[in-house]
Amino acid sequence: MRTILTIALTFASTSPAALIPGAALIPGAALIPVAAITPGIAHAAEPVPVSIDTVRVIDSPIISGEDITPYGGTWTAVGRRQIEDLNAQDLPSALRMLPGVTISRYNLLGSYGGGEGGSVYIRGQGSGRPGSEIKVYVDGVPREVAVWSHPVMDVIPTDYASSIRVYKGPQPYTYPGTFGAIDLTTLKRSRAGYETSGSLTLSEYGTAGGVIRHGGKIQAFDYYLGASHKESDGHRPHADGRIQSQYLRVGLDATGDLHLGYVLQHTDNWSRDPGPIDEPTPERDRFATETLTHNIRLDHDAGRFDGYAALYYEEGRIRWAVDNLNGPGTPAGNSNTDWTNYG
């Protein structure tokens, strides 16, 4: 959504002597290297030592960490700092700089459909539809359209993420049935006190948005809440979109090692497809999603013997208006999907 001007400077000379070091142009003669007519034996110049100051890299601007799991898998993570530095408005834009991760999208804001209109791929995996070779989780809860078994990016807001881990390759002990996984951890106040943060974004193509977050911890009780709204007119006709969400978390330290928490998330989004650039602009092609997710989770943190148990319930729906319901040349129509996930 920014215009970046790159200036490349090329230095050129019309004098042949300027093209060959150590060469001179002699009138009425061909170009002759000076060294060839100098009497004696030519000696190479002694190399001059160059001293460069030590540069210490103490932090990564791209990732917040990476490690190997106890089962031999690898993961890479981005934290709150990286998400904000990237001005990430959704999950694909938050992960776009990670090694081994590629993304696809049609619009500046919002994901159209569950395929190339807005998706994340890990080492080339994740393009299968319906279904997917990778899964997306929020606080350990799978977030996917149950009917099609693949994730939809707009229902996974990053405005309330403290970190996002990307697991590259199969992780059968932790994330079964997948060739890669993305696990988002939501914000939680762990120390006594309060914190409030927010942001307002104004950009080109009528793009604007705002986020507000507030959390606190009082003795054993903690809470966090937030709301987000973003919209854009799009960089092309029919490329507009809107994403918005609300977040609530309450928790209680049951003992020194046990924490009981409840998370409620609501999302309401839509985006439109601008279509191929060399074809007529679509008339319908609008993809809208809405979800409501409940998650009750009990965490046990005692060094090597840590883990969690969770109960979750999610209701979601997709309202997809398309110009050609069953492919090119077919009538316009609507594709409606409703699902319920629990476990």
pLDDT single digits (tens) 3-34: 332 233 323 333 433 333 433 333 444 444 44
* H-assigned helices in the chain: 80-85, 91-95
Spell out the residues 6+ positions from residue 61 whose beta carbon is closer than 8 angstroms to its own.
82, 85
SS3 call for 215: strand
pLDDT of residue 32: 40
pLDDT of residue 147: 86
| pLDDT mean for each 10 residues of the chain (343 residues) | 36 37 40 43 70 78 83 88 90 91 90 82 81 87 87 92 92 83 94 93 92 95 96 94 96 90 97 91 93 95 83 95 86 93 94
- Residues forming beta bridges with residue 209, ordered by sequence position: 201, 230
DSSP per residue over 102-142, as a string?
EEEESSSSS--SSSTTEEEEETTB---SSS-SEEEEETTEE
pLDDT of residue 36: 42
pLDDT of residue 4: 34
Report the predicted TM-score, pTM, of the whole model to 2 decimal places: 0.79
The CB density around residue 246, as the number of other CB atoms within 10 Å, is: 18
Q: pLDDT, tens digit, for every residue of 280-302?
A: 999 999 999 999 999 999 999 87
Contact 332, 325 (CB under 8 A): yes
pLDDT of residue 177: 81
pLDDT of residue 2: 54
pLDDT of residue 33: 43
The candidate with the shortest Cα–Cα distance to 90, out of 111, 112, 116, is 111
